[in-house]
Amino acid sequence: MKATEIAEKVLSGEMSARSVVEQHIEIINNIESDVNAFNLVTAEQALIDADEIDSKIASGETLGPLAGVPISVKDNLCTRGVETTCSSKILEGWKPPYDATVIEKLKEAGAIIMGKTNLDEFAMGSSTENSAFGPTRNPHNLELVPGGSSGGSAAAVAAGFSPLALGSDTGGSIRQPAALCGVVGVKPTYGRVSRYGLVAFASSLDQIGPFANTVSDAALTLEVISGHDPRDSTSIPEKPLDISGVLNQGVEGMRIGVIEELSGKGLGGFSQDVVSRVEEAIKVFSNAGADVESASVPASIYGLSAYYVIAPAEASSNLARYDGIRFGPRTEAATTAETMTATRTKGFGDEVKRRIMLGTYALSAGYYDAYYGKSQRVRTLIMNDFAKAYEKFDILISPTSPTTAFPLGDKTADPMQMYLQDVCTIPSNLAGHPAMSVPFGSGEDGMPVGIQILAPAMAEREMFQAAKVLESESGKGIE
Amino acid sequence: MARLAQLALSEDELDAFTSQLAAVLDHAADLEALNVDDVEPSTHPFPLKNILRIDEPGESFDIEEVFEVAPDIEESQFRVPPILGEA
């Protein structure tokens, strides 16, 4: 059932929050052992929270727009007193002494947290295989990956464990798993949603966003979690978004550009079936009255290279805090320095070690200008090229991922092949722009394909209007 | 690099990581061809500057909760192994 329908029925008394939560726990009990979407299911607390919602409704209290709606949250979002691991041994057993701002906002809105979802360790990966607690599997085909790094959140929504989930997106970690699992996934404008309480990976790129089965559910969730937060100094001083009011306004007269560099004509590695779905999406938009043309963002092809310098550089610095001194497990050794090294060596997985070393290298004195400095300049180029494209277009589109879901183990031995999964999504993170993935048909293998809709900074409303149009025609067999 | 990053790696791990990291750096070599000397570097996507909070005391974390998740404490302090010399 849709989140908006659940909230409506709970608020009107037609359904109790407890019955909603019980139904979802039953689905989790039936298939979670196959999917492994969760690091932790908080079923007991969810029932307590549901009873509280029901008693508030009985006593006539006013409740928020997500009253009684189950939601799963990525395990890199701090939840007070509830284990938050980032799927890393280095945080195993760690219970944060505070809630992330988004968790506070969800609770205020009446949402019920079902558990903490699996991810690639510290959100570093594109398949949710780099987890210390085992991989998550794609609910549509258990032999395939769900994408990543927010693969647990995408799988939780696709499997029906909860109609909503939260993830984080540094280079595509919401949009790519959304595409591979056939759900809606949104990366808002950088600063739109507070990062307070999101365990930092690459601070200038990280952004929290929603997963949902429908565009309108994703819009409602983003409305709830957006807005200024003084506890995040990069938070944009704006009111929470109002998207629902414009959601059905359509795309008549909208200027839509198809990014040629990222749609199979520039960079290689795109499956033909994914490219075909983009061509069908173009027809949908044209039929709905939009003016669709080819667009060029030339520097976008350098996004991957710049990202795999900038993100590891920021990560190497952010992850210096995991030293076994103040929190998390410690591996004892003779001195403090040896304790830190032993704790980090034992606690971090291979991909995290790779990226810490890559970032340490990129920031080291002899290579700083050649790698980090240059990448920051390329970041500006990408922003400039987007700005030029947005002089002609209101929104842009591309595939979300170059392929549909791939088999477990397919890319784990070759990190560079895994990184190429994010080629379409990374440019929006570097620019700080909003982008979302909308399910649109399937590939030859029957697995879902996602279309990415990109918009200029702060233009989430136009992005959602287009998403709604695309959703309404998805799976209809476009002529 | 591993030493700088406070990581201890075996010879086998060093070999594997070295070739994997070389592949990533090779990919990044496509940036070398770009002339960006006249382009300003971006550290941040949104032009916010000097964001300071009002200097007044706010609510802090519960100290008991903080110590509950610490690996080793003694009298309201984090306890660590020796830093210099003998214990």
What is A231-245 written as a DSSP string? TSTT--S-PPP--GG
pLDDT in tens, A256-274: 999 999 987 777 789 999 9
Q: Measured between alpha carbons, how far is A360 from A476 in angstroms, rounded to an integer? A: 49
Question: How far is A25 from A50, CA to CA, in rounded Å?
Answer: 12
pLDDT tens-digit series, residues A288-332: 999 999 999 999 999 999 999 999 999 999 999 999 999 999 999
Buried b (16+ CB within 10 A) or exposed e, A372-397: bebbbbbbbbbbbbbeebbeebbbbb
Q: Is residue B50 part of a domain?
A: no
Cβ pair B46:A457 closer than 8 A: yes
Do residue B82 and residue A316 have CB atoms under 8 angstroms apart? no
Establish how many alpha carbons lie within 13 A of residue A65's alpha carbon, considering only the half-sphere containing its beta carbon.
15
Give the separation between CA A305 and CA A413, rounded to whole angstroms: 19
A175 close contact with B: CB closer than 8 A: no
Question: Which residues, listed in sequence order, are joined to residue B77 by a DSSP beta bridge?
Answer: B74
Contact call for A338 and B80, based on CB within 8 A? no
In A, residues 220-279, which contact B (CB 8 Å cutoff)?
Answer: 230, 233-234, 236
In a domain, B7, yes or no: yes
CA gap A303, A298 in Å, rounded: 10
| Residue of A203, A376, A429, A454 best to disrupt the B interface, most CBs of B under 10 A | A376
Element (H, E) at A287: helix A272-287
Q: Is A157 left (phi over 0), alpha (psi -120 to 50) or beta?
A: alpha
Please check whether residue B1 lies inside any domain of the structure: yes
With CB atoms and an 8 Å threshold, state whether B6 touches A344. Answer: yes
| CA distance, residue B10 to nearest chain A CA (Å) | 10
* C-beta separation of A117 from A23 below 8 A: no
Whether A165 has its CB under 8 Å from any CB of chain B: the answer is: no
Which of A357, A364, A411 is the best mutation test for B, with the most CBs of B within 10 A? A357
Compare CB distances from B21 to A80, A342, A354 and report the shortest one's residue. Answer: A354
Q: Are A290 and A256 in contact (CB under 8 A)?
A: yes
- The answer on pLDDT for A19 being more than 70 is yes
Cα separation, A46 vs A62, in Å, equals 20
Tens digit of pLDDT for each residue in B1-52? 888 999 999 999 999 999 999 988 998 888 988 899 899 999 888 878 888 8
Q: Is residue B82 part of a domain?
A: no
Q: Does A93 touch chain B (CB under 8 A)?
A: yes
User: A378: closest CA among B46, B49, B38, B24?
Assistant: B38
- C-alpha angle with apex A382: A377 to A387, nearest 5 degrees? 125
Nearest-CA neighbor of A232 among B40, B44, B65, B68?
B44
pLDDT of residue B78: 93
| A12: contact with B, CB 8 A cutoff | no
Longest dimension (CA), chain A: 70
Q: Average pLDDT, stretch A386-413?
A: 97
- Greatest extent of chain B over all pairs of C-alpha atoms, in Å: 58
Domain presence at residue B21: yes
For residue B16, the distance in angstroms to the closest alpha carbon of chain A comes to: 10
- Global pTM reads 0.96
Residue A392 among the catalytic residues? no
Cα separation, A399 vs A270, whole angstroms: 9
Interface size between A and B, measured as CB pairs under 8 A? 176
Between A248 and B43, where is the model more confident?
A248
Instruction: Give percent of chain A above pLDDT 90.
Output: 95
The stretch A100-108 carries a mean pLDDT of 98
Q: What is the amino acid identity at position A21?
A: V
Q: Which amino acid is it at A144?
A: L
pLDDT at A415 over 60: yes
**Cross-strand pairs, A256:** A292, A395
Q: Which domains, and CATH codes, for chain A? A: 1-296+378-479 (3.90.1300.10), 306-363 (no CATH)
**Candidates B25, B35, B66, B84, partner chain A, best to mutate (most A CBs within 10 A):** B25
Question: Please, is A413 exposed, middle or buried when counting C-beta atoms within 10 Å of its C-beta (0-12, 13-18, 19+)?
Answer: exposed
Q: Which residues contact B64 (CB under 8 A, 6 or more apart)?
A: none
- Pick the residue of A170, A228, A305 with the most B CBs within 10 A to test the interface with B by mutation: A305
Say whether A56 is catalytic. Answer: no
- Which chain B residues touch A338 with a CB distance below 8 Å? 81
Return mean pLDDT, chain A.
96
At A286 the pLDDT is 98
Contact residues, chain B, for A376 at CB < 8 Å: 41-43
Q: Quick check: A444 pLDDT over 80?
A: yes
Helical segments of A293-366, H only: 303-318, 336-347, 350-363
Residue B10 included in any domain: yes
Q: Tens digit of pLDDT for each residue in A184-228? A: 999 999 999 999 999 999 999 999 999 999 999 999 999 999 999
DSSP code for A409 = T
Assign B86 a pLDDT band (cuts: 50, 70, 90).
Answer: low
Please name which of A347, A302, A293, A287 lies closest in space to residue A321, comparing C-alpha atoms: A347
Q: Is A74 a catalytic residue?
A: yes
- CA angle, A122 then A215 then A50, to 5°: 70
Six token digits for residue A144: 């395939």
Of B46, B53, B81, the CB nearest to A339: B81
For the record, the structure tokens of A358 come out as: 């890559």
Q: Is the peptide bond before A16 cis (omega within 30 degrees of 0)?
A: no
Structure token digits, residue A157: 């929504």
User: What is residue A209's three-state secondary structure?
Assistant: strand
Above 90 in pLDDT, residue A465? Answer: yes
Q: How far is A379 from chain B (nearest CA, A)?
A: 6
Q: In chain A, whose CA is at the least distance from the CA of B85?
A: A335
Taking the C-alpha atoms of residue A120 and residue A147, their distance in angstroms, rounded to an integer, is: 9
Instruction: Extract the tokens encoding A435.
Output: 């982008």
> What's the 3-state SS for A10-26?
HHHCCCCHHHHHHHHHH
Res A167 pLDDT > 80: yes
**Nearest CB to A376: which of B2, B43, B82?**
B43
Which residues in chain B touch residue A334, judged by CB atoms under 8 angstroms apart? 81-82
Instruction: Name the token pair of A149.
Output: 């790094």
Is residue A476 scored above 70 in pLDDT?
no
The Cα A85–Cα A199 span in angstroms is 10
Q: Is the pLDDT of residue A475 over 80?
A: no
A452/A440 Cα distance (integer angstroms): 10
Residue A478 has pLDDT above 60, yes or no: no
Question: Would you tell me which residues 295-314 of chain A have a C-beta closer than 8 angstroms to some C-beta of chain B?
Answer: 302, 304-306, 308-309
The number of folded domains in chain B is: 1
Average pLDDT over residues A143-150: 98
Residues of A with CB below 8 A from B6's CB? 320, 323, 337, 340-341, 344
Whether A365 and chain B come into contact, CB under 8 Å, resolves to no
Task: Taking residues A238-257, report their average pLDDT.
Answer: 96
> Does A477 score more than 50 pLDDT?
no
| A377 contacts chain B (CB < 8 A) | yes
| B78 within some domain | no
Q: Is residue B76 part of a domain?
A: no
CA A417 – CA A309 distance, rounded (Å): 16
Question: Residue B3's domain spans which residues?
Answer: 1-27
